[in-house]
């Protein structure tokens, strides 16, 4: 017997190591549920059974990743603040012009939002909105395109929990799949195991956004008779209880029949966020629900608003009047990071975080409406 | 044929550095996720040591570390098993044929990459988590890794010590 093990020592060790790993693998894999059409769903691992080894691996790697990202940011900061300031005056003038245009646009949108809120109040709608976010820096990835996850430098001690939505001002990024003390893992919307409820903005058609192996997400569960066009925009529905309603998701780049689900379409989507170039993200740490009231929707209805509602031809004049009311000498706008930490921020306010130059919409600093 | 060993520092730091770079570089260079540095390091250590036992254990540990960084609901062991097999076979091949010249290194890495992906794919299917398999993409990735391996192995050759 001893002779056998001595002679086949290498093979014995190989089979022993493989056997242990296969048994460990088998204990982690959850038995799959069988879906209505016979397809298996929900296959995957129990999160708890292998948690310790994951924590060890992440704890070992993440300090170096943070150091690397921070030192890279330091170099970029030095470059950006001292060497890359050529033409900044012209750029500043251009941005100032953009700000003025955006103020006009903001004023018009504000009126629309107020009107929508009054109508929602009349109909007794409850609206979900982003109450608190924290900014986080992306410090690492899984390193393989077989598992599309990223790591961020915020964890449970910052209030991050599994299941929270991760977004940027451009759109949704993914959701927190695991939160450790100072690092969290985020499952990207491009991973085959991710999903989100989405709405085609133009047609108001619902679908489910799924990641694919190629990294190009697709929308499924949309009937083949829908007239979807390339370039149609997608937003979140809020129905998945992860992503707040109305956040940008992406645009349609290809529509074809779904070979696996016959009467449905497979809609390829280009994410609104450049997933391959993520540096900073926002974690939605708190969502809140509110019911609109007619009192807090910027006071009583003005005669000009009523006129705009009843006489569309008079709308332009109303907009001009409102635009003139915008103070061009508004104080210096807050930074993007400070905006990100203010609460509450509604989905429509997120664009203002990206630009960060114009004055933030007043509703950002209000208490929940 | 020569059998090499490595200092403890190199034996630990090189795999850790490979895993660190694999997890960090795709942030700035998204194409880098095509490469599999931990696999290349596994192959290098296995063929240099020419010891199947060491190759098996090195592949197992590197694979498990890589598994630990993957998605929470992806079971640990997929990369572990794939790299254990590759580590064992690479060290066994290292005993029988010359794996020191760039041509044989290119071919060997090309073959081992495809084998690694095949085992990984089979394990995903066993775990009821099938993936799409695109032959064109896999062959391209295998070739890219093989080319990178030739350069990388030349750098890592400096850390070899004769036994």
- pLDDT value for B59: 94
Q: Is the pLDDT of residue A187 over 50?
A: yes
Total Cβ atoms within 10 A of residue A193: 20
* pLDDT tens, position by position, A100-158: 889 888 888 888 888 887 777 777 666 666 778 889 999 888 877 777 899 999 999 99
Neighboring chain B residues of A57 at a CB cutoff of 8 Å: 65, 68-69
Confidence class for position A364, pLDDT limits 50, 70, 90: very low
For chain A, give the mean pLDDT: 74
| pLDDT at A293 (0 to 100) | 56
Residue A99 included in any domain: no
Span A48-60, pLDDT tens digits: 556 677 777 788 7
Domain residue limits at A240: 195-273
Tell me if B76 sits within 8 A of B105, measured CB to CB.
Answer: no
Judging contacts by C-beta atoms under 8 Å, the chain A residues touching residue B84 are 14, 17-18, 21
In a domain, A211, yes or no: yes
Query: Are A217 and A269 contacting, i.e. CB atoms less than 8 angstroms apart?
Result: yes
**CATH at A225:** 2.40.10.350
Interface predicted TM-score (ipTM): 0.83
Say what the pLDDT of residue B83 is.
Answer: 95
pLDDT exceeds 60 at position A352? no
Nearest to A177 among B69, B72, B75 (CB): B72
What is the model's pLDDT at position A367? Answer: 36
Q: Tell me how far apart the alpha carbons of residues B154 and B94 are, in angstroms, rounded to a whole number.
A: 16
Instruction: Give the span between the Cα atoms of B97 and A239, in whole angstroms.
Output: 60
φ/ψ of A200, rounded to 5, equals -75, 115
pLDDT tens, per residue, chain B with 163 residues: 677 888 888 899 999 999 999 988 888 787 888 899 999 999 999 998 888 999 999 999 999 998 888 876 778 889 999 999 999 999 988 777 777 888 999 999 999 999 999 999 999 888 877 777 788 889 999 999 999 999 999 999 988 877 6
Size of interface A-B (CB pairs under 8 A): 160
The reply to whether residue A61 touches residue B20, judged by beta carbons under 8 angstroms, is yes
The reported pLDDT for the residue numbered A347 is 43
Q: Do B71 and A60 touch (CB under 8 A)?
A: no
Q: Among A43, A141, A178, whose Cβ lies nearest the Cβ of B27?
A: A141
**Total domain count for chain A?**
1
For B4-162, CATH gives 1.10.1760
Report the C-alpha gap between A331 and A336 in whole angstroms.
Answer: 15
């Amino acid at each position: 017997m001893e002779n056998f093990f001595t002679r086949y020592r290498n093979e014995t060790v190989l089979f022993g190591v493989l056997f242990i790993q296969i048994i460990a693998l088998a204990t982690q894999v959850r038995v799959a549920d069988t879906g209505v059409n016979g397809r298996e769903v929900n296959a995957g691992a129990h999160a708890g059974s292998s948690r310790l080894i994951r924590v060890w691996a992440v704890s070992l790697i993440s300090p170096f990743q943070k150091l690397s990202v921070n030192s890279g940011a330091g170099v970029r900061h030095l470059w950006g603040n001292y060497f890359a300031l050529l033409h900044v005056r012209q750029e500043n003038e251009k941005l100032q012009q953009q700000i003025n245009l955006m103020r006009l646009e903001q004023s018009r949108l504000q009126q629309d939002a107020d009107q929508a809120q009054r109508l929602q109040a009349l109909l007794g709608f409850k609206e979900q909105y982003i109450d608190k976010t924290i900014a986080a820096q992306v410090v690492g990835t899984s390193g393989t395109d077989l598992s599309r996850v990223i790591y961020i430098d915020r964890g449970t001690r910052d209030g991050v929990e599994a299941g929270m939505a991760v977004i940027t001002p451009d759109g949704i990024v993914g959701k927190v799949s695991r939160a450790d003390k100072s690092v969290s893992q985020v499952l990207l919307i491009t991973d085959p195991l991710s999903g989100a409820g989405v709405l085609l903005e133009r047609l108001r058609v619902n679908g489910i956004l799924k990641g694919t192996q190629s990294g190009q997400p697709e929308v499924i569960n949309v009937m083949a008779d829908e007239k979807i066009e390339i370039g149609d925009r997608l937003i979140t529905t809020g129905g998945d209880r992860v992503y707040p309603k109305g956040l940008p998701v992406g645009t349609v780049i290809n529509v074809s029949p779904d070979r696996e689900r016959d009467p449905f379409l497979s809609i390829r989507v280009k994410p609104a966020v450049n997933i391959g170039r993520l540096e900073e993200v926002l974690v939605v740490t708190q969502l809140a629900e509110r019911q609109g009231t007619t009192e807090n929707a910027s006071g009583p209805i003005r005669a000009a608003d009523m006129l705009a509602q009843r006489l569309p031809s008079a709308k332009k004049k109303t907009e001009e009047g409102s635009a003139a009311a915008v103070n061009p000498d508004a104080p210096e706008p807050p930074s993007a990071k400070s905006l990100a930490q203010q609460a509450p921020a509604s989905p429509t306010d997120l664009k203002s975080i990206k630009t960060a130059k114009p004055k933030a919409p007043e509703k950002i600093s209000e208490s929940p409406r | 044929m020569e059998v090499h060993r490595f200092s403890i520092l190199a034996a630990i730091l090189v795999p850790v550095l490979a895993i660190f770079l694999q997890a960090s570089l795709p942030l700035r260079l998204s194409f880098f996720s095509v490469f599999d540095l931990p696999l290349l390091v596994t192959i290098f250590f296995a063929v240099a040591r020419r010891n199947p036992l060491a190759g098996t254990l090195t592949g197992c540990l590197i694979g498990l570390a890589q598994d630990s960084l993957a998605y929470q609901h992806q079971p640990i062991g997929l990369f572990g098993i794939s790299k254990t097999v590759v580590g064992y076979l690479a060290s066994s091949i290292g005993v029988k044929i010359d794996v020191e010249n760039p041509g044989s290194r290119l071919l060997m890495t090309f073959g081992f990459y495809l084998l690694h992906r095949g085992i990984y794919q089979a394990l995903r299917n066993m775990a009821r988590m099938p993936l799409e398999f695109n032959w064109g993409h896999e062959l391209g990735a295998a070739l890219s890794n093989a080319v990178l391996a030739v350069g990388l192995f030349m750098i890592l050759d400096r850390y070899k010590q004769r036994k």
